[in-house]
Amino acid sequence: MTRSGVKLNESTSIHVLASDLGIRLTVNPVGDIVALCHRKVEKFLVDLENCSKPSELLSLVANKLGTIFVEIRSDADLQQVVEEYVNRGELVFATLPDELTHEVFGITLKLVNRGRFDLPYVSIIDCRGPKASRVYFTKWHELGHLLILTDQRRFAFKRTHTLHEYKSPEESLVDVLAGEFAYYSPMVKPLATGEISFEAIEAIRDELCPDGSMTSAMIGITKAWPGPCLLIEAALAHKKAQGDSLQAMFGFITAPAPTLRAVNVMPNEAARRQGLQIFRNFRVPQGSIISRVFTGDSFHGEARENLNWWKASDGTQLPNMPILVRARRIRQSVHALVVPISAPR
Ligand SMILES: [Zn+2]
């Protein structure tokens, strides 16, 4: 999560995009583009008093950006949508069945034969099969594309996704934007009181947008939480150098068995300020509740631990900081919430 941010800031196409959007030369184009989009959304919100739910924000932003969502729930749905739009002279819709490959979750198309009451765009949201759990995020992803359209790009715009480019830097940037707005922090913050827990996150998700996936809720709500918290995903993985080793790849040496590591780590703003950080790919300490939940019979648990249990492969130890760790197993990985314990209770 954090690593891609660094890489994106070095991407030429992201720098070009930032400059097209009127952002001056910057070392942090991603942060600047995110801030610009926040200002746009704040302006939209002026028109809607009492917008308190992310789902309402979603409709508002879609409307302001000039698109409607068309949800595809089955192959028959898709056929019907294709026919309807092709009959209206929107021939490009005929390519949808081929373009909605298993990597593509949504496509925004610009109408060429717009009726008087039509908005300029249509965002097709694929909700079939496993894509169903990402519908809410996919909608924000498509809006993310429209948020970063410059006037010039708007003129040339035909569709958000062309084949084979779905993993471009711009796609990653749009995912960052989707994450920012899916759980819009001004809406999450009033509900984020007390101590963070899986139950608290679920309760906020249920209240704000029950159709969002649990993963996007965990990321978005942890980010918006006022108190310090680290969100960790632990899974079996190799040490970075081992994973990249050509020798291991070609089988010249026997690769060691993978160990339980923090494969994804996301500190929220308050954690970053307090210096609460565990680094990506660090090995999970054997005594940690995260290891115990991973190997044990119980699917969840919590324990008081210390940050200094975590060590890098070169022996570097993290600072002494009492922490509370809440862990929960989800399929082949463990999600953990780590918060500092400030005073003995
Ligand atoms: Zn996209």
Task: Report which residue type is found at 19.
Answer: S
CA of 4 relative to ligand 1 center, distance in Å: 16
pLDDT at residue 211 tops 80: no
CA of 195 relative to ligand 1 center, distance in Å: 35
**Residue 235 in domain:** yes
pLDDT at residue 94 tops 90: yes
Question: Is 267 within 8 Å of 277 (Cβ atoms)?
Answer: yes
**Residue 80 in domain:** yes
CA of 171 relative to ligand 1 center, distance in Å: 5
CA of 160 relative to ligand 1 center, distance in Å: 6
Mean pLDDT throughout 248-262? 73
pLDDT of 204 = 92
pLDDT over 90, % of the chain: 63
pLDDT of 7 = 83
Residue 244 sits at φ, ψ, to 5 deg, of -90, -10
Tokens encoding 270:
């308050």
> Bigger pLDDT: 215 or 155?
215
How many domains are contained in the chain?
Answer: 2
CA of 105 relative to ligand 1 center, distance in Å: 8
CA of 103 relative to ligand 1 center, distance in Å: 10
**Residue 214 in domain:** no
Tokens encoding 42:
């704040």
> pTM of the prediction?
0.81
Mean pLDDT throughout 193-214? 89
pLDDT at residue 1 tops 50: no
Q: Both 86 and 156 in a single domain?
A: yes
Question: Measured between alpha carbons, how far is 257 from 123 in angstroms, rounded to an integer?
Answer: 45
Q: Both 24 and 171 in a single domain?
A: yes
Count CA within 13 A, CB hemisphere, residue 197: 10
CA of 145 relative to ligand 1 center, distance in Å: 7
**Residue 284 in domain:** yes
- Residue 252: domain span: 227-340
CA of 309 relative to ligand 1 center, distance in Å: 40
Q: Both 157 and 269 in a single domain?
A: no
Question: Is 171 within 8 Å of 160 (Cβ atoms)?
Answer: no
pLDDT at residue 273 tops 90: yes
Mean pLDDT throughout 223-243? 86
pLDDT of 216 = 84
Residues with CB under 5 Å of ion ligand 1 are 171
Mean pLDDT throughout 27-36? 95
pLDDT of 47 = 77
Q: Both 6 and 137 in a single domain?
A: yes
Q: How far apart are the first and last CA of the chain?
A: 33
**Residue 197 in domain:** no
Mean pLDDT throughout 220-233? 94
Q: Both 265 and 152 in a single domain?
A: no
CA of 197 relative to ligand 1 center, distance in Å: 32
> Bigger pLDDT: 169 or 2?
169
Mean pLDDT throughout 123-130? 95
Q: Both 118 and 7 in a single domain?
A: yes
pLDDT of 344 = 52
pLDDT of 287 = 94
pLDDT at residue 255 tops 70: no
Q: Both 136 and 234 in a single domain?
A: no
Tokens encoding 48:
């809607």
> Bigger pLDDT: 248 or 86?
86
**Residue 120 in domain:** yes
CA of 134 relative to ligand 1 center, distance in Å: 13
Question: Is 227 within 8 Å of 193 (Cβ atoms)?
Answer: no
Residue 233 sits at φ, ψ, to 5 deg, of -115, 120
CA of 142 relative to ligand 1 center, distance in Å: 6
CA of 272 relative to ligand 1 center, distance in Å: 29
Question: Is 296 within 8 Å of 309 (Cβ atoms)?
Answer: no
Question: Is 217 within 8 Å of 183 (Cβ atoms)?
Answer: yes
CA of 180 relative to ligand 1 center, distance in Å: 15
Q: Both 235 and 111 in a single domain?
A: no
pLDDT of 59 = 93
Tokens encoding 257:
């068995």
Tens digits of per-residue pLDDT, 38-73? 999 999 998 777 777 888 899 999 999 999 999 999
Question: How much is the mean pLDDT over the chain?
Answer: 88
- Beta-bridged to residue 186, according to DSSP, are none
Q: Both 24 and 153 in a single domain?
A: yes
User: How many Cβ atoms are within 10 Å of 338's Cβ, its own excluded?
Assistant: 28
Q: Both 164 and 240 in a single domain?
A: no
Classify 125 in phi/psi space as left (phi over 0), alpha (psi -120 to 50) or beta.
beta
pLDDT at residue 284 tops 90: yes
**Residue 202 in domain:** no
Q: Both 147 and 67 in a single domain?
A: yes
Mark which of 182, 208, 235 sits at the end of a domain.
182
pLDDT of 264 = 93
pLDDT at residue 247 tops 60: no
pLDDT at residue 166 tops 70: no
pLDDT of 174 = 92
